[in-house]
Amino acid sequence: MKTENLCKIRNISKAISEFENNILEVCKLSLNEAMLLCTLSKCEQITSGELAESLGLTCSNTSKVIKSLEDKEFIERRLGKADKRQMILSITKKGREKLKEINSNNNIEVPDILEDIIKTIS
């Protein structure tokens, strides 16, 4: 691997950290919490294992994020219909309102390097 690529990755990592700090300050949510809400808003229900895979987090870390969002009443869990051992997660009305707040907030700055990456993905 070329050293210049490592430096580019370092810059992306710093930009993500800066973005996370901005979301935390403005919206009182961590980046993982915001991404979990976004993921839940795209599907009616999902298991914690599916969320962990979707977010690229460990099951343990995902569990902590789920608990935090439950405490804020942004998500809820229910027993699975087919398998009562399975917990199904969904976003609440309060969670959808929080996402709307994030989407309409002009104070959340996305660092230029991330904007450039997002444009190439969209």
Per-residue pLDDT of the chain in tens (122 residues, 90 and over written 9): 788 889 999 999 999 999 999 999 999 999 999 999 999 999 878 988 999 999 999 999 999 999 999 999 999 998 777 766 778 999 999 999 999 999 898 888 899 999 999 999 86
3-121: which CATH topology?
Answer: Arc Repressor Mutant, subunit A (1.10.10)
Instruction: Give residue 122's pLDDT.
Output: 66
Helix locations, the chain, DSSP H: 3-27, 31-41, 48-55, 59-71, 93-104, 112-121
Domain ranges (residues) in the chain: 3-121
Exposure on the CB side of residue 55, measured as CA atoms within 13 A? 26
pTM of the model: 0.87
Q: Which of 57, 18, 49, 41 is nearest to 102 (CA)?
A: 41
CA separation for the pair 113, 25 (Å, rounded) = 20
Instruction: Give residue 83's pLDDT.
Output: 67
